[in-house]
Chains A and B, each alone.
Chain A
Amino acid sequence: MTTARRFAMFPSITARLIVGLTLATTLIWCGAVTYSSYISYHELDEAFDRGLHESAQRLLPLAVDSVEGNGRREAHEIHHYIEGRNEYLSFQLRDSAGRVLMRSRDAPATPYNQNQTPSPGFSTAGEYRLYTDTDDASGLTITVAETTKGRHEAVIGGAEAMLWPLLALVPLNMLAIWLTVRGAMKPVLRLSSDISTRSGVNLAPLDISDQPRELRPIAEAVARLVERLRAALDAERAFAANSAHELRTPIAGALARTQRMIAELRDPVDRRRARDVETTLKRLSDLAEKLMQLSRVDASVGLAEREVDLLPVLDMVVDDCAKRLEPGRLHYTKTDGAKLSARMDLDAFAMVVRNLIDNAVNHGAAGGRIDVRLPADCTLSVVNEGPVVPPELLAGLKRRFVRGETRSSGSGLGLAIAETIVSQTGGKLELFSPAAGRADGFEARLRLEEEATG
């Protein structure tokens, strides 16, 4: 069985240890019982034989006496010698012709061994173990017999006595292993939970101070990796933030200076040229902005550590966008008591909303109405007037650098940025054209935390 298959059968190390160690203990125990039963069988055999021998020696003179004293060598039974003392033991006293003169009650009337004269000493016949001894003076022979059943019962009883504890031992063993393993696994579980909570938003250093020797190299390697990742992400975010600052200021200067020139120039040709510069600057500014957003998005800035209220951010961004547009163009409808919260970074959420509104402004009908709606079910909709976007084009709009058939100069990145952030945070961005409840237009519908994220 390969390692992978073993893990498929027992996904937990604890389960594997419990099953493996319990099986091994049981097998070892059974082996030990077998071996000790074998040894005790031989020892018991010898002890029983000794008993048989002693019984014969004690019984012989008594039996001879009894027969000789009677004066008649006739077959009769005596009971009292051994009655009630040993159910397995019996005897026969025979004369030299092999006639049974005397026997215990359990003994057969015919000799134990019909076919042959019992040889002196130990022998086995059928289910009997026999010991035969002859009184030299009288020529009488005693054969003491013991059924082997007793011996077998003793050995089986002994083996059973040793096997019974196994019933208790197996669960006890499992419990002991489980307790031990659980104790030993604690650092592993702590390490694994420590590592699993690390993400783009939580790169706090791992605590490796009290890890056992075996885990220390793993813990240290992961801690180093987390540290390097944190430094790299910090650098990337700082770069995005700094470059944003460094880029925006000169662009702002150039744009403002150009707009002053347009205001001051009298010659219409010069004014048109200056307007061209202004338009280009705005496109450059927009593209730089989107590329900076993209670099931040690719550094996984979307997810926040905990759930945050996003409603104030939505208000702020919508207000900001409304101020940049013609008065009355942007309509913001909030259902009373609507809530909007998610495990989402504030700036990332602001980026999503800004991009959806920018998209509506850039690709909707010129000067057309734009609706931002937050109904009670907490789906955010941005709807713009405009022609219907064909379905085959709609499907590709969330890809980078894809634009619809539009007169506008958008970068083709806005929806891709929004989509990336939303999917990073477990939400869903859906595009519809025509917009819901209309014959035309375009609607972007945002559902936050569609699937619960860990």
Chain B
Amino acid sequence: MRVLVIEDDEVLGEAVRDHVAASGHGVDWMKRVEAAREALATVPYDLVLLDLNLPDGRGLDLLRELRSGGSKVPVIVLTAMDQIASRIEGLNSGADDYLVKPFDLSELSARVAAVVRRYGGNPNPLLRVGDLDIDLARRFITAAGRPVDLTAREWAVLERLLRRPNAIIAKAEIEDSLYEFGAEIESNAVEVYVSRLRKKLGRDAIKTIRGVGYKVGQ
């Protein structure tokens, strides 16, 4: 999926970006409210990680702006402010989760997974699709009872498809979530990952709908 990180601290921002990218998602990293606003206007992000104290404004103002504009993009607030009042303000402004710094990157991954699952309409981290048993939180999958190892990018593609099981996901949507701003997209990248996934999970695990996209399940 495609993630926007808004964080003005160089070290933390870079580490978060690298971590999210290493999980196989496409990441853009913005350090200012203004730049983030422009990016949000042009790219359909799947998730926003938002710091609250930014050099040119308050993260919460940007969040309220997004929500009043009708945006439903999941937002996780990353902040050094741990006061209950600011936490409540954050959640009331439309944040989906609130993570106080400092945090473990593994915890960030778990929160991201939980929020994304909630948006997919399936808050249960254990999924069963066909003969696949998937634990999204622990990133553990078995195909017909046999454990399977997936790379970060393969997981990213599968997760994207699993967010709406039984629905057709456009190829472009999967592409978008794989790459960050400016990265070169190879034209057959999605086909490559889908064919690798089929090899590991079974031929019928992912169905191709010609000219439209892919789907898992019925």
Query: Would A259 and B104 count as touching, CB distance under 8 A?
Result: yes
Distance in Å: Cβ of A320 to nearest Cβ of chain B: 8
Contact digits for A244-258, partner B, Cβ 8 Å, 1 yes 0 no = 111011111111110
Q: Which of A249, A285, A346 has the most CB of B within 10 A?
A: A249
Known: A249-B101, A323-B110, A323-B111. A256 touches B19 (CB 8 A): yes
The reply to whether A251 and B102 contact each other, CB–CB distance below 8 Å, is yes
B81→A245 contact, CB < 8 A? yes
Chain A CB within 8 A of B9 CB? yes
Residues of B within 8 A of A152 (CB): none
8 A Cβ contacts from A333-350 to B:
346-347, 350
Known: A256-B11, A323-B111. A248 touches B87 (CB 8 A): no
Within the complex, which residue of B9, B19, B102 is in contact with A285, where a contact is CB–CB below 8 Å?
A: B102
Indicate whether B84 reaches chain A with its CB closer than 8 angstroms. yes
Check A254 against B11 for contact (C-beta < 8 Å): yes
Asked whether, in the complex, the Cβ of A244 is within 8 Å of the Cβ of B82, the reply is: yes
Q: Which residues of B contact A250 (CB under 8 A)?
A: 9, 11
Among A245, A248, A260, the residue within 8 A (CB) of B15 is A260
Bound Cα distance from A313 to B82, whole angstroms: 12
CB distance from B43 to the nearest CB of A (A): 24
CB <8 Å contact, B12 and A256: yes
Known contacts A244-B80, A248-B80, A249-B9, A346 near B103 by CB under 8 Å: no
With A323-B111, A350-B84 known as contacts, the answer to whether A256 contacts B137 (CB < 8 A) is no
* Across-interface contacts of B87 in A (CB, < 8 A): 316
A327 at the interface (CB under 8 A from B): yes
CB-defined contacts of A346 to chain B, threshold 8 Å:
84-85
B107 touches A257 (CB 8 A): no
Q: Report whether A260 and B12 are in contact in the complex, using a CB–CB cutoff of 8 Å.
A: no
Within 8 Å of chain A (Cβ to Cβ): is B208?
A: no
Judging by beta carbons under 8 Å apart, are A248 and B22 in contact?
Answer: no
Chain A residues contacting B85 (CB-CB under 8 Å) are 346-347
Q: Assess whether B84 is in contact with A253, with CB atoms less than 8 Å apart.
A: no
Nearest B-chain residue to A288, judged by Cβ: B102
Q: Tell which of B10, B103, B105 touches A260, judged by Cβ atoms closer than 8 Å.
A: B105
Cα separation A254 to B10 with both chains bound (whole Å): 11
Q: Do residues A324 and B107 form an inter-chain contact, with CB atoms below 8 A?
A: yes
**Closest beta carbon of chain B to A380's beta carbon, Å:** 16
Interface 1/0s, chain B 82-98, versus A by CB < 8 A? 11110100000000000
Q: How far is the CB of B98 from chain A (nearest CB, A)?
A: 8
Q: Is the CB of B101 within 8 A of A248?
A: yes
Interface 0/1 of B1-34, CB less than 8 Å to A: 0000000011110111011001000000000000
The answer to the question of B142 belonging to the interface, with a C-beta cut-off of 8 Å to chain A, is no
A241 contacts the other chain (CB 8 A)? yes
Alpha-carbon gap, A324 to B137, bound state (A): 13
Q: How would residues 306 to 333 of chain A score, 1 for a CB under 8 Å from any chain B CB and 0 otherwise?
A: 0000000100100010011001000000
Q: How far is the CB of B1 from chain A (nearest CB, A)?
A: 20
Distance in angstroms between the alpha carbons of A253 and B100 in the assembled complex: 13
Chain B residue total in the interface (Cβ 8 A): 29
Q: Please give, as numbers and ranges, the residues of chain B lying within 8 Å of A13 by CB-CB distance.
A: none
Chain B nearest CB, measured from A281 CB (Å):
8
Contact size class for A? 20 to 34
Partner of A253, one of B9, B18, B22, B137: B9
B-chain residues with CB within 8 Å of residue A327 when the two chains form the complex: 137
- Is A249 touching B84 in the complex (CB atoms < 8 A)? no
User: Is residue A168 within 8 Å, beta carbon to beta carbon, of the partner chain?
Assistant: no
A249 to B18, Cβ gap below 8 A?
Answer: no
Can you name the residue of chain A whose Cβ is closest to the Cβ of B110?
Answer: A323
- Residue interface mask B108-148, A partner, CB < 8 A = 1: 00110000000000000000000000000100000000000
The digit string for A273-294, where 1 denotes a CB below 8 A from any CB of B, is: 0000000010001000000000
- Shortest beta-carbon distance from A262 to chain B in Å: 9
> Which B residues are CB-close (under 8 A) to A259?
15, 19, 104-106
Do the beta carbons of A251 and B101 come within 8 Å of each other?
A: yes
Q: Which residues of B contact A452 (CB under 8 A)?
A: none
Inter-chain contacts of A260 with B (CB < 8 A): 15, 18-19, 22, 105
Contact A316:B101 (CB < 8 A) given known A253-B9, A256-B19? no
Choose among B18, B83, B102, B137 the residue that contacts A255 (Cβ–Cβ < 8 A).
B102
Q: Which residues from B are CB-within-8-Å of A316?
A: 84, 87
- Provide the bound-state CA to CA distance between A350 and B16, in Å: 27
Q: How far is the CA of A316 from the CA of B15 in the complex (A)?
A: 27
Residues of A within 8 A of B22 (CB): 260, 263
Q: Return A376 CB to nearest CB of chain B, in Å.
A: 25
Query: In whole angstroms, what is the CA distance A249 to B8 when docked?
Result: 10
Smallest CB separation, A205 vs chain B (Å): 24
Q: Whole-angstrom distance from the CB of A384 to the nearest CB of chain B?
A: 21
Which of B9, B84, B100 touches A313 (beta carbons < 8 Å)? B84
Report B94 CB to chain A, min CB distance, Å: 17
Min CB–CB distance A409 → chain B (angstroms): 16
Q: Assess the B110–A241 pair: CB atoms within 8 A.
A: no
Bound-state Cα–Cα, A172 to B44, Å? 87
14 contacts between A and B (CB under 8 A): A245-B80, A248-B80, A249-B9, A250-B9, A251-B101, A252-B12, A252-B80, A255-B102, A255-B104, A256-B11, A313-B84, A316-B87, A324-B107, A350-B84
Query: What 4 A-B pairs are tightest by C-beta distance, nearest first?
Result: A253-B11, A256-B15, A252-B102, A252-B101
For the complex with contacts A251-B101, A252-B102, 9 further pairs of A-B residues with Cβ separation under 8 Å are A248-B80, A248-B101, A249-B101, A253-B9, A253-B11, A256-B103, A259-B19, A260-B18, A324-B107
